[in-house]
Amino acid sequence: MLEQYDLSQLMVLDIETVPQYATHDELPDHLKKLWDLKTVRQRKDETAEDFYESAGIWAEFGKIICISVGIFTGGSPRGLRVKSFAGHEEKELLEKFSHMLSGQPPSLILCAHNGKEFDFPYLCRRMLINGLPLPKQLDIAGKKPWEIPHLDTMELWKFGDYKSYTSLSLLAAIFDIPTPKDDIDGSMVGSVYWKDHQLERICTYCQKDVVATAQLLRRYRGEELIADENITIVG
């Protein structure tokens, strides 16, 4: 599976997002009304104020604080280099990420777990909101499905089944991909950012997801995992 892809022409990525404001009270009044309308079906018994902790998953109400990317290196043994773009100023980190992509071929394949549903569209939306042009690798307007250079490890696992969501953690477990026990998960990122002020901790969590996704690709291809000593964190 996936033998047709040259891993050296592929980039694995993951993003971490948080609500744009620390609390619902800080939202401008006109956005409070729009938040209420946007989430009325999802909230069930929760108030709009309590549900605001989940605002990071909507690009209209959230922002990106970390983008981690991984590039496969070498042939035998295969390696992985991981780099992160993180910060409190979203536009600045998006500019740095875009500049990095500008140095890559337009045909570079981007890969993420649930990337087609979350990471890729979220990146595009936040870039437009920040007044930035879309990198060629993310600009899919007018392209046919087979022309879009995006891979999604969750979509690949579905094999055409559209009924289920399978987490990266579950796939890592069943494919015997060792992952360090983290003290946070995705649901805690907003709190760790706004209350604990620990961006570096979130960045480490994001990098681990990139490594796990890269290792999952190796498993899909029936290949050995990349050894820990051949995984390099840059910067």
pLDDT digits (tens, 9 = 90+) for 120-156: 999 999 999 999 999 999 999 999 988 899 999 999 9
Q: Is 138 within a domain?
A: yes
Q: Cβ contacts of residue 162 below 8 Å, gap of 6+?
A: none
H helix or E strand, kind and range, residue 83: strand 79-86
Q: How many CB atoms lie within 10 A of CB 214?
A: 25
CATH of the domain at 229: 3.30.420.10
Q: Is 32 within a domain?
A: no
For residues 151 and 4, the answer to whether their CB atoms sit within 8 Å is no
Q: How many CA atoms does the CB half-sphere of 173 hold within 13 Å?
A: 6
Of residues 201 and 75, more confidence is placed in 201
pLDDT at residue 65 greater than cutoff 90: yes
Tally DSSP H helices, then E strands, for the chain: 8, 6
Q: How many CB atoms lie within 10 A of CB 232?
A: 13
Q: Is 52 within a domain?
A: no
User: Which domain covers residue 111, as residue numbers?
Assistant: 7-20+61-234
Q: Is 169 within a domain?
A: yes
Of residues 5 and 163, more confidence is placed in 5
Q: Is 214 within a domain?
A: yes
pLDDT at residue 44 greater than cutoff 90: no
User: Could you give the CA distance from residue 202 to residue 105 in angstroms, rounded to a whole number?
Assistant: 29
Question: Into how many domains does the chain fold?
Answer: 1
For residues 17 and 122, the answer to whether their CB atoms sit within 8 Å is yes
In the predicted model, what is the mean pLDDT of residues 81-89? Answer: 97
Q: How confident is the model at residue 75 (pLDDT cuts 50, 70, 90)?
A: confident
Q: Is 44 within a domain?
A: no
pLDDT at residue 114, rounded to an integer? 96
Q: Is 99 within a domain?
A: yes
pLDDT at residue 181 greater than cutoff 80: no
Which of these ranges, 24-28, 56-60, 73-77, 208-212, has the smallest mean pLDDT? 73-77
Q: Is 42 within a domain?
A: no
pLDDT at residue 66 greater than cutoff 90: yes
H helix or E strand, kind and range, residue 234: strand 231-234
